[in-house]
Structure 1
Amino acid sequence: MKRMNTHATTLNRRTLLRGLGTAIALPLLDGMSPTRCLTAAAAPTNAAIPMRMAFLYVPNGMHMPDWKPSQEGSDYELPRTLKELAAHRADFNVMTGLALKGAEAQGDGGGDHARSVAAFLTGAHPKKTDGANIQNGVSVDQVAADAIGSATRFASLELGLENSAQAGTCDSGYSCAYSSNMSWRNATSPVAKEIDPAKVFDRLFGHGDGGAVREARATRHKYRKSVLDFALQEANQLKDQLGVLDRRKLDEYLYSVRSIEKRIVGTDKLDATEEGVPDYPRPAGVPREMQKHADLMLDMMTLAMQTDSTRVISFMFTNAGSNRGYPELEVREGHHELSHHGKSEEKQTKIATINRFYAQRFAYFLERLKQVPEGDGTLLDHSAIVYGSGISDGDRHNHDDLPILLAGRAGGRIQTGRHIVYPKKTPLCNLYLWMLQQAGAPSEAFGDSNGVIDRLS
Structure 2
Amino acid sequence: MFITRNHLSRRTVLQGLGVTLGLPFLDAMVPAQTPLRLTAAAPKSRFIAIEMVHGAAGSTAIGRSMNYWSPAQEGRDFAFTKSLQPLEPLREYITVVSNTELHNAMSLVPDEDGPMADHARSSAVFLTAAHPRRTAGGDIHAGPSIDQIYAKVVGRDTRLPSMQLCIEDNAIAGECGYGYSCTYTHTISWASPTTPLPMERSPRRVFNSMFVPDAPNGQRTGSNTASLLDSLPDAIRSMKRRLGVRDRTTLSDYLDHIRAIEKRIQEVERRNAITPKTQTNEPLSVPDSFNDHVDLMFDLQLLALTCDLTRVITFKMGVDRSQRIFPESGVTTPFHTLSHHRESPERIEEFARLNQYHVGKATQFIDNLRRTKDGDGNLLDHSLVLYGSPMGDSHVHEHRFLPLFLAGKANGALQGNRHVVCPADTPMANVLLTVMRKLGVDTHQIGDSTGEIAL
Please give the TM-score of this superposition, normalised by the length of structure 2.
0.89
Distance (Å, rounded) in 1 between the aligned partners of 2:198 and 2:380: 26
Q: 1:413 to 1:271 in 2, by over 3 A?
A: closer
Contact 1:161 1:317 in 2 (8 A): yes
The equivalent residue for 1:54 is 48
Mapped pair 1:29 → 2:26: yes
1:132-176 Cα deviation digits (max 9, x unpaired) = 332212111111112221110011100010122222332333222
Aligned to 1:242, what secondary structure does the other structure show?
coil
Contact 1:29 1:246 in 2 (8 A): yes
Mapped pair 1:292 → 2:298: no
The equivalent residue for 1:275 is none
Distance (Å, rounded) in 2 between the aligned partners of 1:137 and 1:317: 20
1:198-229 Cα deviation digits (max 9, x unpaired) = 1111111114x345996xx543x16x331122
Q: Which residue type is aligned with residue 101 of structure 2?
A: A
Q: Which residue type is aligned with residue 88 of structure 1?
A: L
Aligned to 2:270, what secondary structure does the other structure show?
coil
Contact 2:291 2:328 in 1 (8 A): no
Which moves more between the two structures, 55-64 or 373-382?
373-382
Q: Which residue type is aligned with residue 54 of structure 2?
A: N
Contact 1:325 1:332 in 2 (8 A): yes
Aligned to 1:419, what secondary structure does the other structure show?
strand
Map 1:377-396 → 2, pairs under 5 A:
377-396=377-396
Shift in Å, 1:270: 8.0
Mapped pair 1:71 → 2:58: no
Shift in Å, 1:413: 1.1
Map 1:249-398 → 2, pairs under 5 A:
249-269=250-270, 284-398=284-398
Contact 1:114 1:178 in 2 (8 A): yes
Aligned to 2:268, what secondary structure does the other structure show?
coil
Q: Which residue type is aligned with residue 191 of structure 2?
A: R
Map 1:175-190 → 2, pairs under 5 A:
175-190=181-196
Q: Which residue type is aligned with residue 241 of structure 2?
A: D
Distance (Å, rounded) in 1 between the aligned partners of 2:232 and 2:47: 29
Shift in Å, 1:192: 0.8
Distance (Å, rounded) in 1 between the aligned partners of 2:11 and 2:218: 20
Aligned to 2:395, what secondary structure does the other structure show?
coil
Which moves more between the two structures, 171-180 or 361-370?
171-180
Map 1:166-205 → 2, pairs under 5 A:
166-205=172-211
The equivalent residue for 1:244 is 245
1:206-260 Cα deviation digits (max 9, x unpaired) = 14x345996xx543x16x3311221121122112222222222212211211111
Contact 1:139 1:182 in 2 (8 A): yes
Q: Which residue type is aligned with residue 411 of structure 1?
A: N
- The CA RMSD over aligned residues, in Å, is 2.7
Shift in Å, 1:389: 0.3
Q: Which residue type is aligned with residue 144 of structure 1?
A: Y
1:71-105 Cα deviation digits (max 9, x unpaired) = 11122111111112222122111111222121121
Aligned to 1:24, what secondary structure does the other structure show?
strand
1:326-367 Cα deviation digits (max 9, x unpaired) = 345454433222212112234223322221110110111112
Q: Which residue type is aligned with residue 85 of structure 1?
A: L
Shift in Å, 1:427: 2.2
Distance (Å, rounded) in 2 between the aligned partners of 1:355 and 1:270: 30
Q: 1:293 to 1:239 in 2, by over 3 A?
A: same
Distance (Å, rounded) in 1 between the aligned partners of 2:189 and 2:15: 31
The equivalent residue for 1:138 is 144
Distance (Å, rounded) in 2 between the aligned partners of 1:429 and 1:53: 16
Distance (Å, rounded) in 1 between the aligned partners of 2:54 and 2:103: 17
Identity of matched residues, %: 38
Q: 1:341 to 1:205 in 2, by over 3 A?
A: same
The equivalent residue for 1:127 is 133
Contact 1:21 1:212 in 2 (8 A): no
Mapped pair 1:113 → 2:119: yes
The equivalent residue for 1:97 is 99
Q: Which residue type is aligned with residue 27 of structure 1?
A: P
Which moves more between the two structures, 321-330 or 372-381?
321-330
Aligned to 2:449, what secondary structure does the other structure show?
coil
Aligned to 1:171, what secondary structure does the other structure show?
coil
Shift in Å, 1:403: 0.8
Report how many aligned residue pairs link the two structures. Answer: 438
Distance (Å, rounded) in 1 between the aligned partners of 2:221 and 2:85: 45
Structure 1 regions of 5+ residues with no counterpart?
A: 273-277
Distance (Å, rounded) in 1 between the aligned partners of 2:69 and 2:272: 47
Distance (Å, rounded) in 2 between the aligned partners of 1:45 and 1:436: 24
Shift in Å, 1:21: 1.7
The equivalent residue for 1:419 is 419
Structure 2 regions of 5+ residues with no counterpart?
A: none
Which moves more between the two structures, 176-185 or 318-327?
318-327
Distance (Å, rounded) in 2 between the aligned partners of 1:121 and 1:413: 20
Contact 1:179 1:321 in 2 (8 A): no
Distance (Å, rounded) in 1 between the aligned partners of 2:406 and 2:2: 36
Q: 1:138 to 1:168 in 2, by over 3 A?
A: same
Q: Which residue type is aligned with residue 228 of structure 2?
A: V
Aligned to 2:98, what secondary structure does the other structure show?
strand
Q: 1:335 to 1:19 in 2, by over 3 A?
A: same
Distance (Å, rounded) in 2 between the aligned partners of 1:86 and 1:98: 22
Q: Which residue type is aligned with residue 181 of structure 2?
A: S
Which moves more between the two structures, 327-336 or 175-184?
327-336
Distance (Å, rounded) in 1 between the aligned partners of 2:426 and 2:344: 31
Q: 1:213 to 1:319 in 2, by over 3 A?
A: closer
Please give the TM-score of this superposition, normalised by the length of structure 1.
0.89
Q: 1:436 to 1:75 in 2, by over 3 A?
A: closer
Distance (Å, rounded) in 1 between the aligned partners of 2:57 and 2:38: 42
Shift in Å, 1:280: 9.1
